[in-house]
Homo-oligomer: A and B are copies of this chain.
């Protein structure tokens, strides 16, 4: 019998990475590991769902990094379709329910990992449950959407038939990626979003570039659109989406890409500390604040934003995996920390790459930072290299100190991952003058002789000087 039992609540990236890393450090004779997962799947890439829907990834199972059987082969007692419904921290036990049979039981723990993830925001709109309205957060969501699309697309329509219409609600990462996926399947796509521009994770001036590019690709975007109702047709299937101004957008299918929120009801009920977004608050080793034997990671926690100096909810698979590693090391008796994030995110819509890191203008204002901005247009390769595409870089620098605060990039191939330069510079606390001197890779197929990030930094240096003290 093992000397200790680890209980993991949630079997996706953070939870199962934690379990796997703990198992690497402690064998089954020393540590028993029990993991509970509500769904039919473990350890999958939710970020890959748009590419599966779009057809670039042919099969659902390619998104699964590790199956339940693979986890079990590593001596992890994985209980699928079993939901944890109560945490008893004082009693060091959790109550779980078998979602097939309804049977409940208590399981004791010495160490507990909460990795309950996030849920898609699903506003209580009239008609939201109409057939043909889909979220795309989980593999099950993706499968349901695919089934709807397959129904709509078969039998194949005559070549002169009007395109089927899709409405995407929300123009964040998931919204633009789903718009691309649906355009790729031949739909006439309308994206309804509340903000001034799509991609509200960028400043509006940079979001405007995404707007123009989406329109050029044939994707219609509607700004300031407040969805009020989903309208069903005669067969009970979705017919249109209505907005506050009375417009009805006809739709054969509707995709909700409005964002997610931490799934932390259990934690809240157990009195664990939550941040402004409802995400769990942890220390640097991903232990829940104030708890000796409870860790949390992935989409259910808030992370420290190193630039803003406060915690935020940033649901991203890459963070979840790092959390899992750190937690697994801690549970396994090792030492690791998750120092925080700088807010890096990348995406694409068709050929347009979109990236951001650090603070937007409104983020900086919200935390009391004064700044200057510099925006430049360059190319992704030497200008004379065939296929050179435009790249726009916006940089925020703190007034007086010149410290880099944020970078946003929109453009052709090579734009997205270029933001990593700024992510490292932000982590290191560099000034834009230091960024302007960086020794970045140069060859004509990869960059102009002055990399666009350097050009932006030089302009930011001038802006800092011009702004004075």
Contact = CB atoms under 8 A, between A and B. Distances in A.
Nearest to A425: B424
Interface string A35-66: 00000000001011001000011000011010
A418 to B, nearest CB: 7
Interface string A214-235: 0000000000000000000000
Nearest to A386: B56
Interface stretch (A187-195, A248-256, A275-283, A334-342): A334-342
A442 B386 contact: no
- Contact count band on A: 35 or more
A466 interface: no
A154 interface: no
Contacts of A425: 424, 428
B417 A438 contact: no
A318 B441 CA distance: 9
A287 B166 CA distance: 63
A321 B428 contact: no
A328 to B, nearest CB: 13
A439 B341 CA distance: 6
A385 B55 CA distance: 10
Contacts of A442: 47, 316-318, 344, 346
Interface string A315-347: 011110110010000000000011111111111
Contacts of A449: 13, 45, 47, 65, 317-318, 321
A142 interface: no
A421 interface: yes
Interface string A453-469: 00000100000000000
A75 interface: no
Given A321-B449, A384-B48, A421 B419 contact: no
Interface string A3-47: 000000000010000000000000000000000000000000101
A322 B437 contact: yes
A77 interface: no
A182 B245 CA distance: 62
Contacts of A319: 439
A424 B407 CA distance: 15
A355 interface: yes
Interface of A: 13, 45, 47-48, 51, 56-57, 62-63, 65, 173, 316-319, 321-322, 325, 337-348, 353, 355, 357, 382, 384-386, 413-414, 416-421, 423-425, 427-428, 430, 434, 437-447, 449-451, 458
22 contacts: A13-B449, A48-B384, A51-B444, A62-B384, A173-B443, A317-B442, A318-B449, A318-B450, A318-B451, A337-B437, A339-B434, A340-B439, A344-B439, A346-B442, A357-B441, A416-B441, A417-B418, A417-B440, A417-B446, A420-B441, A421-B421, A423-B440
The 7 A-B residue pairs with the shortest CB-CB distance in the complex, in nearest-first order: A428-B428, A346-B441, A318-B442, A424-B424, A62-B384, A341-B439, A344-B439
